[in-house]
Amino acid sequence: MLPSEPKIFHGRESELSEMLELFVQGTPRVAILGAGGMGKTSLARAILHHAEITPRYKQHRYFVAYDPATTKVELAALIGSYLGLKPGKDLTRSVVQRFSKDPPALLILDNLETVWEPIVSRREVEDFLSLLTDVKHLALIITMRGAERPAQVNWTRPFLRPLKPLEQSAARQTFIDIADSYHDPAQVDKVLSLTDNMPLAVNLIANLVDSEGCSNIQPGSLYFIVPVKSQDQSCPSLRGFVEPLVNAS
């Protein structure tokens, strides 16, 4: 079953229109990159359900979440299960053949870093992606933490730049959707400044305000546990949240 359309989704207009334009021009292969919690999966879900995409791919839209896969064979098995293929030793070829025979499809591989990051499996995964993108009518979107695209794929140009934090207006609107609109706007901006407008942090803090109120949120008392991986160290918002944890220990 496909994941739902994101219900609270603000900003990202330029990324959405850049991606839709690539679909107008042909069959795109796009990597949505960015730090953990920056909104990669949400953007992919927004594309998946966009009014310009749904009628084009109909039931041939696949959203494969990668958490359980750690090797190319597991990856192929996972995609195979979404396609309804019979389990087998290595489904790489069957998956590629199936996409070749099927009508144009959109394949979204979410959190691909899970299987791409380990150096031991990287080469095989890239070879598999290369085979998949040999299928001319298969549109491919991956989401992956960091700023590096897998090799062996002709990613469609212009490349989508790694996602940045939300604009202030989008962060405010997200906050209001979660915590309601009765809070003092100056207090809201103060609280939002603690998040660097990183979507995950904005969501967390808005939920916190909803239960605790704005004035009870103090920078020194915030201890968000966020998914941190090596590439994320360059993200100031994550550093901001991790440091209090480090300082507290």
Ligand X SMILES: Nc1ncnc2c1ncn2[C@@H]1O[C@H](COP(=O)(O)OP(=O)(O)OP(=O)(O)O)[C@@H](O)[C@H]1O
Sole window of 41-49, 83-91, 97-105, 189-197 interacting with Mg ion (rule: CB under 5 A): 41-49
Select the residue interacting with Mg ion from 11, 12, 37, 41 (CB under 5 A): 41
Q: Indicate whether 41 belongs to the interface with ligand X (CB under 6 A).
A: yes
203 binds, among Mg ion, ligand X, none (CB under 5 to 8 A by kind): ligand X
Q: Which is nearer to ligand X, 36 or 92 (CB)?
A: 36
29 binds, among Mg ion, ligand X, none (CB under 5 to 8 A by kind): none
Q: Indicate whether 114 belongs to the interface with Mg ion (CB under 5 A).
A: no
- By rule CB under 6 A, what string of x and - marks binding of each residue 89-118 to ligand X? ----------------------x-------
145 binds, among Mg ion, ligand X, none (CB under 5 to 8 A by kind): ligand X
Nearest distance from residue 199's CB to Mg ion, in Å? 11
Residue in 177, 75, 154, 63 with CA at minimum distance from that of residue 109 = 63
DSSP string covering 92-161: HHHHHHHHHHSSSEEEEEETTHHHHSSHHHHHHHHHHHHHHHHSTTEEEEEEEEBS---SSS-PPSSPPP
- Sequence-separated (6 or more) residues with CB below 8 Å from residue 112: 66, 125, 142, 143, 144, 150
Q: Indicate whether 69 belongs to the interface with ligand X (CB under 6 A).
A: no
Distance between the two ends of the chain, CA-based, in angstroms?
Answer: 42
What is the residue whose two structure tokens read 């090797």?
71
What is the CB neighbour count within 10 angstroms for residue 75? 27
Residues near ligand X (CB under 6 A): 6, 8-12, 34, 36-42, 111, 143, 145, 166, 174, 199-200, 203, 227
